[in-house]
Amino acid sequence: MHDRASLLAPGLVTLDAHLEAEFEALLVETSRLAFRVAFSVLRHQQDAEDVAQESFAKAYRHFGSLRDRDRFRAWLVRTVWRTALDRQRANRRRGAHELVVEQGFLASFSSPGQSSPQAVDDRTALWNAIDALPEKLRVAIVLASIEGHGVSEAAALLRIPEGTVKSRLFLARQRLKEALK
């Protein structure tokens, strides 16, 4: 990436390198967020990474209008979410992936003490309950649960009022608790 900047004319190197540096900083900051959003939809490691990678490539092409940090994060979350849903629908049509949670895969991400069969069952039940939520409630609970995002940050990512996020989170948690009784 930086090699391309070094090949440009000297007058253009500064601006190009500056853009590259800005994007690199945002990439490092948001890579985990993008992957987790994709994983919350797909529940598949490789697919989630592919979707996140595809979204970052798209963000790089449109980086001229995404240089603002908040704008970049909100755009990235929406793009990853839509791309992941498209991938999920394509997987369903091909039948390439089961929609059930890959138990062995989930166990590998569990902390010690949570890899027991009971913990895996609990995790499977939780994902199934999340999948059963309407999309608006699902994306709200996902964003609020990732990286400890608060209501205000989830509202900024979704570009909706905080009151709307609060009500959606309340409904989502109520349904999850009922499903996990």
Which chain residues interact with another protein by CB under 8 A?
Answer: 1, 3-4, 15-16, 19, 23-24, 27-28, 31-32, 35-36, 39-40, 45, 48-49, 52-54, 56-57, 60-65, 109-111, 114, 122-123, 126-127, 130, 141-142, 145-146, 173, 176-177, 180-181
| 94: number of Cβ within 10 Å | 8
Between CA 38 and CA 51 the distance in angstroms is 7
Our CB check for another protein shows the closer of 57 and 93 to be: 57
> Which two structure tokens, joined as six digits, stand for 57?
């490539």
User: Shortest Cβ distance from residue 29 to another protein (Å)?
Assistant: 11
Question: What is the smallest separation between the CB atom of 68 and another protein, expressed in angstroms?
Answer: 11
Choose between 36 and 136: whose C-beta lies nearer to another protein: 36
Rounded CA separation 138/78 (Å): 13
Nearer to another protein, 126 or 171 (CB): 126
Nearest residue (CB) to another protein, 4 versus 82: 4
Supply the angle between the helices 117-131 and 162-179 in degrees, to the nearest 10.
130
CB of 61 to another protein, least distance (A): 6
Q: How far is the CB of 26 from another protein (least distance, A)?
A: 12
Euclidean distance between CA atoms 163 and 168, whole angstroms: 9
CB of 117 to another protein, least distance (A): 15
The smaller minimum CB distance to another protein, of residues 95 and 130, is found at: 130
- Residue 125 near residue 179, CB atoms below 8 Å: yes
How far, in Å, CA of 179 to CA of 176, rounded?
Answer: 5
Chain-centre distance for alpha carbon 29: 13
